A and B are shown apart, each in its own frame.
Chain A
Amino acid sequence: MNIIYVLIPLSVILMVLALAFFFWAVRNDQFDDLDTPALDILDEDDSAPGKKNAPPRHGEHGDDES
């Protein structure tokens, strides 16, 4: 049973990581539009126009000020 002393703190650490990732996603507009991406899958064309010359997106260029 001693393994739980490792596994459970590990689960807490994983949860913290998941939350950190989620916060990052929220900050980078991932949750602002929940309607249109559903249609992207219907696109047979692989070269989505948005991709070809998108500026590099880093966390620090996102909506951090908000």
Chain B
Amino acid sequence: MTTKHPNGCWHCGEDIPAGVDIRATIAGSERAMCCHGCQTVAQLIDSAGLQRYYEFRDALPERPELADASGSDYAAWDRDAILEHYARPDCDGFHRLTLVLENVHCAACAWLIHRYVGALDGVAEIRVDVTDGRAHLTWNPHQVALSEIAARLAALGYRPHLDAPDAGQARNQVERRQMLKYIVVAGLGMMQVMSYALAKYIGAWQDIDPQSERFFLVISMIVAVPVCLYSGQLFYKSAWRALKHKRMSMDIPVASAMLLALFSSVIITVLDAGQVYFDSVVMFIFFLLLGRYAVLVARQNAGQLHSALARSLPVQARRLTDEGSELVTLVELEAGDRVQIGAGETLPADGVIEAGNAMIDESLLSGESTPRRRVDGDQVLAGTLVRDGHLTVRVENLGQSTVLSGIVRLLDQARSFKPRMAQMADRVASYFIVFVLTGATVAGIAWWQIDPTSALPVVISVLVVSCPCALALGTPVALAAASRGFARLGVLISTPDTLEKLPNITHVVFDKTGTLTRPDMTIGEVRLEHDAASRDQACRIAGRLERISRHPVATAFARHDDGHAVGDAQAVTAEGVAGTIDGTEYRLGKPAFAAEWVDGELTEPGDGQWIALVSRKALIAWFRIDSPLREGAHELVEGLRRNGLNLLLASGDRADNVARIAGELGIENSHGDMSPADKLELVRGLQRDGARVAMVGDGINDAPVLAGADISLALAEGADIARTQADLVVTGRGLQRVSAAFALAPRVRRIVRQNLAWAFGYNICALPLAAMGFVPPWAAAIGMSASSLLVVLNGQRLGRRPSREEGRGKKGEGENTIPSTIPPLTSPRSP
């Protein structure tokens, strides 16, 4: 189960960029790392003696960000208000609290957290739920500060968020536990009643004495009646609700069959006459409950992380008081307070700007990607991000009354919305129920005329055998399993209908920026022009200089920054950066900008985007900045084309750039210089010609285009996941996941169809047989259960873990042979 990446970073598995030589010693051997962030985390894990994490894990982590490891970010978490609002007191001064963690992938993450955070004095327990990324913490605030725990989690790369007490979460847990109890009671009861029934059947051949037979009958009743009344509650209540609202529901024939069989059996037992059906009823309830439990768990797990992240506002804010400013928690804020917000921070509440101006990114709320400038008197909303500038905001609305919470509520509603396929199955099932109820009545009346003693068993058999649960279960079970299967591939589904549309797609339109290329740039090539400097030195100087820059080019140098002090640092917009390191002045930027310091013109030494590093005296080095293709871009294009899809590339970038990337990937149809409106027009045009278009974007910049396409896919990481508006969200790095999603979709449709066909076929065959009296109630219960079980198991096939490529990681570790670009999670599914 070891997941290693023989040619990539030992920690995160990403390719190590050219020119980076960072190593960490893990369990005595040197391992290559791709950046200082990975190095820090890996060394942390090693120094805590937890290297075994690398053996346990079966999914690779995201690349950690270096800046996250400081405890001061979480200083406000130690305030009493946090304890009051988020934590629940346990005994002996311990408190309980739930955190939402980013980047939890597999059980090994949970193990790592348990060992590393659990080792702190004062932490009694930390339990991580891998399915929804929540950590349940029990700790003593007097022994260890919450901020320290949070900082430890952040240092491992699992950035924590406080989880607001959420009624939905508690309700889910209650529901799940209740269901578990029903199932176990029904299961144990079934075993008991079956064994008595078996004793009775065998006894019938071996001349059981009437007294013992009667004893088995009575004891069956004693066990079956409470079990049926307790475990079957769900069905009785739901049927009663449906009847009250004059709706048809699947639970009406189910509940009537159960109650009819149960009470007739009780009467027969008391009167000591005829056949009893205790075993059939209990078995019927047990298998039905199993199916319902599968649906419940699947429904609850889908998209829980999604809503948790969407809810996450900053927990702290800087409140202005008469004496100055103080750090307070969000729960302490009141309407009318004034708060200060700096660059890179998220607004904690809705309010009005009192002073300052800033570029504000409102993409979370409006989908509008370009940050807007907001000035005095403008309204600002909670959850929006300040890109640069400083603000003083007077708080107006908080918590549940913010626009953000309204949107989150809408999101939750959207999630509870049933997919069309399931709705259709429900509708068909409800017609079928009317048919079954009429059929049972007619059969009952007919048999009453022919042979009154057989009327009851026939009615029960008809009701049980034709229970349309397979019909109603087939689709939701398959869809739930499919969304789990997609989640395993790293694809979250936010609109359930997507699964139905995905197989029909004919055209895929890519948006170049951030879709096929990486969001961060890299240094493609370094050309040294000065003897005194080594390649490593040049990179390091550039890294220090670029520290203050917010230009995307700076991302290429971030991993070379060693934190060394830079004097007089300044960034010249659209030109470059300048600063003094160890007494030498440097400039780094566009050739024209750098050339001001050296004599003569600087010409770029080759194709592509080059920037120059100069000192006062001379040119030191040239860097070529690339925006490299994402891992797996080639495989994605290949895979999609093999599936017979037409590919297009539409981008707002310069046309020659777009054409170059299209050429590199072998996409014939490329369009550059496209505005969002042009892209939308392109999509509309394709749709007019009868194409079904899937748009792949980053989900934030091209929200309108995504909305215009039949299906939208977005690539997103971390907190951005919650900000995307797309139908499908592809998390993490790998682009192959997109093609995996396209490969999985036809299987989903096939399995749903198989399930529906089976359920229909079975019910249509079984109903006449039962009505004619050929099927005794026990056989009906077995038949019905087997049919439902078959449908559930068939649906579960979609949720299976994709089989991993064998032999991976057995190659010499650390040898830089052929770069492997396929991370294990995204290996092709076995047929």
Please give the residue numbers on chain A whose beta carbons come within 8 Å of chain B beta carbons, in ascending order.
1, 4-5, 8-9, 11-12, 15, 18-19, 22-23, 26-27, 31-33, 35-36, 38-40, 42, 48-50, 53-56, 58, 61, 63, 66
Contacts and interface: CB of A to CB of B under 8 A. Distances in A.
Given A55-B124, A56-B91, A35 B181 contact: no
A25 B196 CA distance: 28
B108 A66 contact: no
A43 to B, nearest CB: 8
B18 interface: no
Q: Max chain A CB contacts within 10 Å: which of B94, B125, B196?
A: B125
B113 to A, nearest CB: 9
Nearest to B222: A12
Interface of B: 52, 56, 90-92, 94, 107-108, 110-111, 114-115, 118-119, 121-131, 138, 140, 170, 173-174, 177, 180-181, 184-185, 188-189, 192, 196, 209, 212, 215, 219, 222-223
Contact of A42 (B56, B119, B209): B56
Contacts of A12: 192, 219, 222-223
A15 B94 contact: no
Given A19-B185, A61-B91, A39 B107 contact: yes
Contacts of B115: 49
A40 B118 CA distance: 13
Contacts of B131: 35
Given A26-B177, A55-B94, A36 B114 contact: yes
B107 A53 contact: no
Given A8-B219, A55-B124, A15 B114 contact: no
A47 to B, nearest CB: 10
Contacts of B189: 15
B90 A61 contact: yes
Nearest to B191: A15
The 9 closest A-B CB pairs, nearest first, are A49-B118, A36-B110, A54-B124, A39-B111, A49-B119, A55-B94, A55-B92, A35-B130, A35-B107
Given A35-B131, A39-B111, A55 B118 contact: no
A39 B90 contact: no
A39 B212 contact: no
Contacts of B184: 19, 22
Contact of A31 (B52, B108, B138, B180): B180
6 contacts: A4-B215, A8-B196, A27-B177, A39-B56, A40-B111, A42-B52
A51 to B, nearest CB: 9
B90 A66 contact: no
B127 A36 contact: yes
B56 A50 contact: no
Contacts of B181: 22-23, 26
A45 B90 CA distance: 28
A31 B181 CA distance: 11
B114 A50 contact: yes
B173 A32 contact: yes
B563 to A, nearest CB: 32
A31 B107 contact: no
Nearest to A53: B124
A55 B174 CA distance: 24
Contacts of B122: 53
B121 A53 contact: yes
A32 B132 CA distance: 12
Contacts of B92: 55-56
Contacts of A1: 209, 212
Contacts of B170: 66
A61 B400 CA distance: 30
Nearest to B216: A8
B702 to A, nearest CB: 37
A66 B177 contact: yes
Nearest to B174: A66
Contacts of A11: 192
Contacts of A58: 91
A9 B184 CA distance: 20
B91 A36 contact: no
Given A31-B180, A35-B131, 15 more contacts: A8-B215, A12-B222, A12-B223, A19-B185, A19-B188, A23-B181, A26-B180, A38-B107, A39-B108, A42-B52, A42-B56, A42-B111, A55-B138, A56-B91, A61-B90
A66 B644 CA distance: 52
A11 B192 CA distance: 8
A4 B829 CA distance: 54
Nearest to B112: A39
Contact of B188 (A18, A42, A53): A18
Nearest to B118: A49
Contacts of B174: 66
A57 B122 CA distance: 16
Contacts of B127: 32-33, 36
A15 B121 CA distance: 42
A1 B110 CA distance: 55
Given A31-B177, A33-B129, A4 B114 contact: no
Contacts of A33: 127-129
A56 B91 CA distance: 8
Contacts of B114: 36, 49-50
Nearest to A54: B124
A5 to B, nearest CB: 7
Given A42-B56, A54-B125, A35 B110 contact: yes
Contacts of B185: 19
Contacts of A31: 177, 180
Nearest to A40: B111
A36 B111 contact: yes
A12 B121 CA distance: 46
B128 A36 contact: yes
A15 B56 contact: no
B192 A15 contact: yes
Contacts of B52: 42
Nearest to B138: A55
B107 A4 contact: no
Contacts of A54: 124-125, 138
A61 B94 CA distance: 11
Contact of B215 (A5, A49, A50): A5
Contacts of A9: 219
A6 B719 CA distance: 63
Contacts of B90: 55, 61
A52 to B, nearest CB: 9
B121 A50 contact: no
A66 B165 CA distance: 14
A39 B180 contact: no
Given A49-B119, A66-B174, A32 B129 contact: yes
Contacts of A49: 114-115, 118-119, 123
Contacts of A35: 107, 110, 129-131
A1 B209 CA distance: 10
Nearest to B113: A36
Contacts of B56: 39, 42
A50 B124 contact: yes
A1 B119 CA distance: 59
A23 B230 CA distance: 13
